[in-house]
Amino acid sequence: MHELSYHRRVSVAPMMEWTDRHCRYFLRLLSPDVLLYTEMVTAAALIHGDADRLLEFRAEEHPVALQLGGSDPALLAGAAKLGEQADYNEINLNIGCPSPRVQSGSFGACLMADPQLVADCVAAMAEAVDIPITVKTRIGIDDHDSYEFLRDFVATVADAGCEVFIIHARKALLSGMSPKENRQAPPLVYERAYRIKQEFPNLAIVVNGGIDSTDQVGAHLEKLDGVMIGRHAYHHPFWLCQAQRQIYPETKYTAPDREQVLRQMNRYLQECAAQGVRPHAVTRHMMGLYAGEAGGKRWRRFLSEQVQNSDAGSDLLLRSLAVFAS
Ligand SMILES: Cc1cc2nc3c(=O)[nH]c(=O)nc-3n(C[C@H](O)[C@H](O)[C@H](O)COP(=O)(O)O)c2cc1C
């Protein structure tokens, strides 16, 4: 089995403003195996902007996939190359985001209406790099929401060299709905992903949308190659320890306890501070660490209040443990 296929059983979704490198470093402490995705980075930003800064990540985050946005095959090929050179394990193309800002740049979910253009983008990227090119898509857009529409999209894009599809099992409505509503209102139709897998058994199919328990992950994995988790992993990061134990029994693993995670993150915070990173940029992703635990609310309040006037050298995260002693 390809190494990435193993990791792909569970992945943490690309989420703008959320899955940045600090968030990924934190999540990796909880699970050595889940595949992590970056936030979406546009191909244009990488080609014309500060690629080194945008692509920066630490070796500990592996395996990690870079998500790109764009619709210009040459730009995307160049951006994919930069991603490969920076040592990402996979390049993913975002064909699922319905935000108006993204549509005006002519990429994201609106590209489902132009499968040939997506195929051209994938072909150009696959030509440029040796790592896998994958596509994250919805089950349809607006009135184009039949099974046949999705099947034809997948067939066209697979022909261009994409062997892995991540299917957010909702359609996207391109007008009249915010991105947030578009993640909640359209109904989830997991059956569509199952049918795609039956019709294209050689493709790896990963399902995404509304999944928040290891039981659900296990049920999907009976039919599919992977499950991508977004909001649940961010808001309940410790759940990844359970996922690691149950979904990757082949890996020898001892779950860390929360205190160990805090100690490691305290060291990380200090290393980041030496590079000029503000503590809040790191701690803001950790708010779910004690979700559902006794004292969790007090811990979050302590962190939110103290982070404003703490420097990273102040052992903020170690001090936060005192909340549980009182
Ligand atoms: C804050 C936030 C930002 C997101 N940004 C992206 C993004 O950059 N690229 C993308 O493909 N999807 C993005 N999404 C969608 C998620 O990847 C995922 O498809 C969606 O949240 C459904 O999965 P879930 O129900 O497990 O959260 C974002 C979602 C959230 C909540």
What is residue 182's predicted lDDT score, i.e. its pLDDT? 83
Q: Whose CA is nearest to atom 14 of ligand 1?
A: 15
The DSSP letter of residue 313 is G
- Whether the CB-CB separation of 262 and 318 falls below 8 Å is answered with yes
For a mutational test of ligand 1's pocket, the pick from 16, 36, 206, i.e. the residue with the most ligand atoms closer than 8 A to its C-beta, is 16
Q: Whose CA is nearest to atom 18 of ligand 1?
A: 230
C-alpha–C-alpha distance, residues 136 and 250, integer Å: 27
What is the per-residue pLDDT across 187-218, written as a single tens digit (0 to 9) for each? 999 999 999 999 999 999 999 999 999 999 99
Q: How far is the CA of 39 from the centre of ligand 1 (A)?
A: 9
Radius of gyration of the chain (CA): 20
Q: Return the minimum-mean-pLDDT range out of 81-90, 98-107, 162-171, 302-311.
A: 98-107
Q: In this structure, what are the phi and psi dihedrals at residue 287, rounded to the nearest 5 degrees?
A: -60, -25
What percent of the chain stands above pLDDT 90?
83
Look at domain 3-247 and name its CATH class: alpha beta
The DSSP letter of residue 250 is T
Q: What amino acid occupies position 163?
A: E
Domain spans, the chain = 3-247, 258-325
Closest CA to 257 of 2, 30, 64, 53: 30
For residue 63, whether the previous peptide bond is cis, meaning omega lies within 30 degrees of 0, is yes
What is the per-residue pLDDT across 56-97, written as a single tens digit (0 to 9) for each? 999 999 999 999 999 999 999 999 999 999 999 999 999 987
Q: Read off the pLDDT band of 101 (50, 70, 90).
A: low
Q: Return the minimum-mean-pLDDT range out of 25-34, 126-135, 205-214, 304-313.
A: 304-313
Q: Read off the pLDDT band of 52 (50, 70, 90).
A: very high
The catalytic residue among 23, 97, 110, 272 is 97
- The correct answer on CATH 1.20.120.1460 for the domain covering 258-325 is yes
Inter-helix orientation angle 214-221/239-247, to 10°? 30
For a mutational test of ligand 1's pocket, the pick from 164, 180, 183, 220, i.e. the residue with the most ligand atoms closer than 8 A to its C-beta, is 183
What is residue 1's predicted lDDT score, i.e. its pLDDT? 61
Q: What amino acid occupies position 161?
A: G
User: What is the residue-averaged pLDDT of the chain?
Assistant: 94
Measured CA distances, 315 to 8, 65, 290 (Å): 35, 31, 19
C-alpha–C-alpha distance, residues 65 and 228, integer Å: 13
The DSSP letter of residue 43 is H
What is residue 122's predicted lDDT score, i.e. its pLDDT? 98
What is the per-residue pLDDT across 250-289, written as a single tens digit (0 to 9) for each? 999 999 999 999 999 999 999 998 889 999 999 999 999 9
272 carries an active-site annotation: no
Closest CA to 9 of 256, 235, 253, 251: 251
